[in-house]
């Protein structure tokens, strides 16, 4: 267990070093998202939770802080519901803007579970909640996503794969980029490893839009179970691929979850 925790920390520090020594310039083929949010919701235990997170995102020359508060509720044994509200602060060389961001509603339904293997239907609805827009960190579009996920649990490890489709509504507004946030296919996979009080997670997300824009995000996260009620988390993510189609150079996040 100590070796797993040490390896996870070293991987996180190595990723930070690579990002600082090898900076990338981002475009915006979509909107900013916390890449680990959907897998975390998929793998979360069926308990009532409240959470708070802070993301710091860098998109040269823009920096953004995204504050997120959320809650998750199990509905019987097969269903779960999650809510997440964002608050955004964006700064560049000239100005600082802040306000209410997007609301995301998540849901899951276990279609089949056998021998520690599960087939799960996932979905989320996300969109702007005010007239303000801080593109690409929040947007007035209305996004509807449906996905099918496969999870295989092997002792203290869980591997997963997710594939689905996202439909973007209210997308006619002018954007300050050449590539619009559009309908897209989403594919992701990764693993969560660890037992006891420390758990590490690594994964990737690939999206392909109807106007042929591509995004490829990579993320890593560490969770520490401070007590049965409290879990502390930290993570980092970055994008690779076409420069003009990235949303952020890199971002880091930290937060905690209270379980009931």
> Whole-angstrom Cα distance, residue 201 to residue 70?
20
CA nearest neighbour of 119 among 148, 145, 147: 148
CATH of the domain at 239: 2.40.160.40
Beta carbons of 247 and 233 less than 8 angstroms apart:
no
> Whole-angstrom Cα distance, residue 160 to residue 26?
28
Provide the pLDDT for residue 171.
73
Provide the pLDDT for residue 157.
94
* Tens digits of pLDDT across the chain (260 residues): 444 445 444 444 444 444 444 444 556 678 898 999 999 999 998 899 999 999 999 887 889 999 999 999 999 889 999 999 999 999 987 889 999 999 999 999 999 988 889 999 999 999 887 777 788 888 888 999 999 999 999 888 999 999 999 999 877 666 555 556 889 999 999 999 987 899 999 999 999 998 888 999 999 999 999 999 999 999 999 998 788 788 888 999 999 999 99
> Whole-angstrom Cα distance, residue 136 to residue 64?
10
**Exposure of 25 in the CB half-sphere (CA atoms within 13 A):** 2
Query: Whole domain around residue 11: which residue ranges?
Result: 2-259
Beta carbons of 253 and 55 less than 8 angstroms apart:
yes
Cross-strand partners of 60: none
Domain total in the chain = 1
Q: Give Cβ neighbours of residue 111 (< 8 Å, ≥ 6 apart).
A: 119, 120, 121
Q: Which two tokens stand for residue 128?
A: 């702007």
Provide the pLDDT for residue 93.
79
Q: Give Cβ neighbours of residue 216 (< 8 Å, ≥ 6 apart).
A: 204, 205, 206, 239, 240, 241
> Whole-angstrom Cα distance, residue 72 to residue 143?
20
């Amino acid at each position: 267990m100590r070796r797993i925790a040490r390896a996870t920390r070293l991987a996180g520090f190595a990723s930070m070093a690579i990002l600082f020594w090898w900076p990338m310039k981002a475009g915006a083929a979509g909107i900013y998202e916390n890449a680990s949010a959907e897998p975390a919701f998929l793998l979360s235990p069926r308990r009532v939770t409240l959470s708070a997170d802070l993301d710091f995102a860098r998109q040269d020359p823009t920096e953004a802080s995204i504050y997120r508060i959320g809650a998750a509720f199990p509905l019987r044994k097969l269903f779960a519901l999650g809510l997440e509200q964002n608050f955004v602060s964006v700064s560049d060389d000239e100005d600082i803007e802040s306000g209410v961001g997007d609301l995301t509603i998540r849901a899951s339904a276990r279609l089949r579970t056998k021998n520690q293997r599960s087939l799960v239907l996932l979905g989320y609805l996300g969109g702007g909640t005010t007239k303000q827009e801080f593109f690409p960190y929040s947007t007035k579009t209305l996004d509807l996503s449906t996905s099918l996920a496969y999870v295989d649990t092997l002792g203290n490890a869980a591997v997963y794969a997710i594939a689905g489709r996202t439909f973007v509504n209210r997308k006619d507004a002018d954007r300050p980029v050449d590539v619009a946030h559009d309908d897209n296919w989403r594919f992701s996979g990764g693993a969560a490893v660890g037992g006891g009080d420390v758990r590490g997670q690594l994964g990737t997300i690939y999206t392909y839009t109807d106007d042929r824009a591509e995004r490829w995000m990579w993320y890593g996260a560490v969770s520490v179970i401070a007590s049965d009620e409290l879990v502390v988390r930290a993570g980092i993510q970055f994008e690779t691929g076409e420069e003009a189609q990235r949303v952020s150079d890199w971002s880091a996040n930290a937060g905690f979850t209270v379980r009931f």
